[in-house]
Amino acid sequence: MTAVAVIPVKEGSAPGRMAPPSRFGDRAFEWLTLGMALVVILLVFLIGWQLARGSSLAIQKFGFNFLVTSTWDPVAEQFGALPFIYGTLVSSLIALIIAVPLSIATAVYLTELAPLWIRQPLVSLIEMLAAIPSVILGLWGIFVMIPWLRDYPFPLLKKAFGWTPLFTGPIYGPSMLAGGIIVAIMILPIITSVSREILRSVPNLQREAAYALGATRWEVTRIAVLSYARKGLFGAVILGLGRALGETMAVTMVIGNTPQIAASLFKPGYTLASVIANEFTEATTDVYLQALFELGLVLFGVTILVNLLAQLLLKTMTMKSATRAVQ
């Protein structure tokens, strides 16, 4: 499930409404594109409707409790989604915390600082990262990343931040943190690519004006480029978040798949997408299957909700900056 995010096009570049089309071809074209757009919207509604229909029994049986209880017991047919919702949100948050600074820094380097000859090879390399199938990344996670994390960075984190509840308890390897890190690796390329495109679309006039005012390179990047592209960068992050929420295979392989809510990031967790992928094929009873469908519905809802919140945040952010600009 990918997020729908709007990457704002810079002002002025959007073509204004022209004279109403009179020729048949133009009108047909309009109808065609409208039809296509409607199909996409219809698809979203159909998915939602189908998920709701597929889980009607579970919704009736568990009601609101489904969202706020944490027992997941296929034998006793007791189902609660809270640990999965928690795991999905926390692993995505960890991924964003790691991936956003890295991606944007990479994009800035690629558009502002890197020597020209190195840009294209670097871009290709980053795009290659996006081409790695997630199951391969997961296997790499089990056999390479987790042993390394367990032996070096995790003990260091525990030593440095062991006084916070986030980094306490025994270190096994498969954990919420490992899940977040693998998602970070997976969303890095998309955030980087989109950010790079956005930074590239910042007009050179901006940079030149800042240089003319005597700004240093850092100041130019900060004032003229980053703040100009802020909205677009935010869109790039939202795209990444959408991927993070729905990421399944690689996460399943490293997160430990234990439905629990634990403060420590060293403890294993579980995500909505993972439990569906894990249990769907072997679910035999109706209620069990319906509960899995309902998890799908919840994931659908969480994704939409997070996106709406992000749009809202973007709006308040731009409004604030607009008022600041006026003052």
Partner 1 sequence: MTKIHRFCGKLLGLTIAFGLSATASAQMMINGAGATFPYPIYSKWFDAYTKVDPSVRFNYQSIGSGGGQKQIMAQTVDFGASDGPMSDDNLSKAPGKLLHIPTVAGADVVAYNLAGNPALKLDADTIAGVFLGEIKKWNDPKIVALNPGATLPDQEIVVVHRSDGSGTTYIWTDYLSKISPEWKAKVGTNTSVNWPTGIGGKGNEGVAGQIKQTPGALGYVELIYAVQNKMPYADVKNAAGKFLKPSLESITAAMATAQIPDDFRFSITNALGENAYPICGATWLLVYEQQKDATKGKKLVEFLKWAQKDGEKMAKDLDYAPLPEVLQARVLKRIDEIKF
Residues that bind partner 1 (CB under 8 A): 71-76, 78, 138-139, 142-143, 146-147, 150, 170, 172-174, 252-253, 256-258, 268, 270, 274, 277-285, 289
- Nearer to partner 1 by Cβ, of 174 and 240: the residue is 174
For the chain, list the strands marked E by DSSP: 72-73, 78-79
We find the least distance from the C-beta atom of residue 113 to partner 1, in angstroms, to be 39
Least separation in angstroms between residue 259's CB and partner 1 is: 8
SS3 12: coil
CB of 279 to partner 1, least distance (A): 5
CB 83 within 8 A of CB 261: yes
Judged by DSSP in three states, 80 sits in coil
154 or 234: CB nearest partner 1 = 154
Cβ proximity to partner 1: between 2 and 71 the closer is 71
User: Residue 171 phi/psi, 5° resolution?
Assistant: -105, 110
Of all helices (H) and strands (E), which one includes residue 237? helix 230-246
First-to-final CA distance of the chain: 42
Which residue is listed with tokens 């367990």? 150
Smallest separation, CB 91 to partner 1 (Å)? 15
Cα 226 to its chain centre, rounded Å, is 21
CA pair distance 107, 101, nearest whole angstrom: 10
Q: Residue for token digits 């956005």?
A: 198
Task: Give me the least distance between CB of 250 and partner 1, in Å please.
Answer: 10
Q: How large is the angle between the packed helices 286-326 and 230-246, nearest 10 degrees?
A: 170
- Nearer to partner 1 by Cβ, of 7 and 277: the residue is 277
Residue closer to partner 1, measured from CB, 77 or 197: 77
The least CB distance from residue 184 to partner 1, in Å, is: 20
71 or 216: CB nearest partner 1: 71
